[in-house]
């Protein structure tokens, strides 16, 4: 008994391998012309495919039965060698050649090419936007720098609660006082004097426009604590000046017309409200909080001039711990002999040093001076000139006294002979003293720029001086 074999599963196709050599015209099977390597039956069962091959063989045609997936779906005359890595369609060698070597069918190859083209276009567009961004940043930096070129247009915009509008103390600060240094009108002449003292230029340095005071209950956004997240600090530093810019526009003052914008918020709150003041060169903006109850009107004017100097690029020259001016940058005459009391106050240190741990408030803006360090930071002199001015760094007077005491304690039986004072301690070698009317920092020298002191350090003065506190 012969056992019938089971038909193989799957889908099959019949492909013509060779036609009869003596065939003048193409053969036809069921109305379909026989062409070399063209399937004449697809998706058939095994029985159907083998029956058709038998009929073709009787006609002298060589045909073959092939699995459905053994033939390329795009090129029916080619056998498949692998499948597309994207859609799993069976493909032949011609498909891979058309895909430039990629194992992909034609449709997936076209999609990949389109994606690559789109990616290149996005990259080129990103480069274009980045180039535009750099151009805009460069233009912005140029405009920011040009905004602080002389003559600088300074807008001082003032706000006050309704109860303080018309206060006589506020009116006095907004009226000329014939150069007494206790009016906001003295700020421009003060900067003109100091600019001329360093540069010798008589050209206008600053043009100050006073606006207000306008009635406004100022409630700006909080600046945040120093230990806050960086993004929150950046957001607050962006929102804070924008709030004041918006207030100015509400009252008809466009802050963009000024090279430097300084806002004054007047209040009668208790305490030292000036500690909330801020000034920044990056935004060319400063905010000063002032009290109308301040008994020394010059202090308010100095506070405004101080914040304005921050806008120009200066930094504080006082110690944050005790607010005393640090030596030597916080001193106008750091090498005077005697060192105290100082004849002038340095603007970025605010008060006039009168002793190692004592200072006195000035009673006029014109008791202030701009020191060499500040002048270099705001671009009036070269940094090298400021560095030269502070060399040699002299030993402070109290340090010499301590040295004498230590030497006497170590050698009590030996006679002490210290000879003449070191050259570095002689008056006038590094800067004028209070009794030197022709010195660099005396008002008599306003018409000429200051000359730096000699550079070489004298023997015995190599120790760096501590702050005179």
Neighbours of 148 (CB within 10 A): 18
pLDDT of residue 22: 62
Q: Are residues 280 and 155 in the same domain?
A: yes
372-397 in b/e form (b: 16+ CB < 10 A) is: bbbbbbbebbeeebbeebbebbbbbb
- pLDDT tens-digit profile of 409-433? 666 554 443 334 333 333 333 333 3
**Contact status, residue 172 vs residue 224, Cβ threshold 8 Å:** no
Walk along the chain (469 residues) in steps of 10 and give the mean pLDDT of each run. Answer: 60 71 57 57 74 78 69 68 76 79 84 87 84 67 68 95 94 94 97 96 95 93 72 77 94 93 92 76 88 94 96 93 92 94 97 95 97 96 92 61 66 46 35 36 38 37 38
Q: What's the rounded Cα separation, in Å, for the pair 434 and 291? A: 33
Peptide bond into 35 cis (omega under 30): no
Number of domains comprising the chain: 2
pLDDT at res. 399:
63
Looking at residue 342, what is its pLDDT? Answer: 96
In a domain, 135, yes or no: no
User: Of the candidates 312, 341, 364, which is a domain's last residue?
Assistant: 312
Same domain, residue pair 282 and 153 = yes
Q: What residues contact residue 41 under an 8 Å CB cut-off, 6+ apart?
A: 13, 14, 48, 49, 52
The pLDDT of residue 379 is 94
pLDDT of residue 459: 34
**H-assigned helices in 24-156:** 46-58, 93-98, 106-147
What is the per-residue pLDDT across 206-263, written as a single tens digit (0 to 9) for each?
A: 999 999 999 999 998 887 666 777 777 777 778 888 999 999 999 999 999 999 999 9
Residue 257 lies in a domain: yes
154 and 283 share one domain: yes
Alpha helix segments (H runs only) across 210-268 = 230-250
**Spatial separation of the C-alpha atoms in residues 225 and 374, rounded to whole Å:** 28
Residues 189 and 88 in one domain: no
Owner of token pair 């009108």: 185
Q: What is the pLDDT of residue 419?
A: 38
Q: Are residues 182 and 91 in the same domain?
A: no
* C-alpha to C-alpha distance for 190 and 172, rounded to whole angstroms: 18
**From CA 292, how far away is CA 267, in angstroms rounded?**
6
d(CA 334, CA 314): 18
Residue 29 lies in a domain: yes
Shared domain check, 169 and 89:
no
pLDDT of residue 448: 39
Residue keyed to tokens 């030993």: 395
What does the alpha-carbon distance between residue 55 and residue 41 come to, in Å, rounded to a whole number?
Answer: 13
User: First vs last Cα of the chain: how many Å apart?
Assistant: 122
Q: How far is CA 467 from the centre of its chain?
A: 33
Instruction: Please state whether the peptide bond connecting residue 402 to the residue before it is cis, i.e. omega within 30 degrees of 0.
Output: no
As a whole number of angstroms, the distance between CA 428 and CA 441 comes to 12
Q: What's the CATH number where 196 sits?
A: 3.40.390
- Please report the pLDDT score of residue 407 as a whole number: 66
Q: Is 345 left (phi over 0), alpha (psi -120 to 50) or beta?
A: beta
What pLDDT sits at residue 144?
Answer: 60
pTM of the model: 0.58
Containing domain of residue 31, as a range? 12-107
CA 253 – CA 262 distance, rounded (Å) = 12
**Is there a single domain that holds both residue 86 and residue 156?**
no
């Amino acid at each position: 008994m012969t056992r019938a074999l089971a038909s193989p599963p799957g889908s099959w196709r019949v492909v013509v391998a060779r036609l009869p050599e003596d065939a003048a015209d193409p053969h036809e099977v069921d109305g379909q012309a026989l062409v070399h390597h063209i399937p004449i039956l697809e998706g058939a069962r095994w029985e159907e495919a083998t029956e058709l091959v038998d009929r073709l063989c009787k006609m002298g045609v060589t045909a073959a039965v092939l699995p459905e997936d053994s033939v390329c779906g795009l090129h029916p005359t080619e056998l498949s060698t692998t499948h597309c890595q994207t859609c799993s369609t069976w493909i032949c060698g011609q498909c891979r050649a058309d895909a430039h070597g990629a194992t992909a069918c034609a449709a997936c190859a076209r999609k990949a090419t389109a994606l690559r083209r789109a990616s290149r276009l996005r990259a080129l567009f990103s480069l274009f936007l980045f180039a535009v961004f750099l151009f805009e940043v460069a233009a912005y930096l140029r405009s920011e720098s040009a905004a602080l070129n002389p003559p600088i247009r300074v807008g001082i915009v003032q706000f006050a609660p309704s109860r303080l509008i018309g206060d006589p103390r506020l009116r006095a600060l907004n009226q000329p006082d014939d150069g007494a240094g206790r009016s906001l009108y003295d700020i421009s002449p003060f900067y003109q004097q100091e600019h001329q003292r360093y540069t010798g230029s008589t050209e206008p340095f600053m043009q100050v426009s006073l606006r207000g005071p306008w009635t406004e209950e100022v409630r700006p956004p909080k600046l945040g604590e120093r230990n806050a997240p960086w993004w929150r600090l950046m957001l607050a530093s962006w929102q804070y000046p924008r709030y004041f810019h918006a207030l100015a526009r509400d009252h008809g003052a466009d802050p963009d017309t000024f090279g430097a914008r300084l806002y004054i918020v007047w209040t009668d709150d208790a305490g030292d409200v000036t500690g909330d003041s801020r000034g920044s060169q990056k935004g060319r903006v400063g905010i000063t909080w002032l009290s109308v109850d301040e008994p020394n009107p010059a202090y308010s004017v100095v506070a405004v001039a101080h914040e304005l100097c921050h806008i120009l690029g200066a930094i504080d020259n006082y110690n944050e711990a005790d607010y005393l001016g640090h030596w030597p940058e916080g001193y106008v005459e750091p090498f005077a002999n005697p060192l105290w009391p100082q004849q002038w106050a340095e603007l970025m240190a605010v008060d006039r040093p009168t002793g190692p741990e004592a200072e006195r408030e000035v009673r006029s803006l014109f008791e202030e001076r701009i020191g060499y360090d500040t002048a270099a930071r705001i671009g009036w002199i070269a940094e090298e000139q400021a560095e030269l001015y502070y060399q040699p760094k002299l030993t402070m007077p109290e340090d010499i006294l301590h040295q004498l005491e230590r030497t006497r304690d170590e050698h009590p039986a030996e006679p002490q002979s210290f000879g003449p004072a070191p050259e570095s301690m002689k008056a006038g070698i590094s800067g004028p003293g209070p009794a030197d009317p022709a010195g660099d920092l005396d008002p008599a020298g306003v018409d000429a720029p200051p000359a730096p002191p000699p550079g070489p350090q004298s023997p015995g003065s190599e120790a760096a001086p501590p702050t005179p506190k």
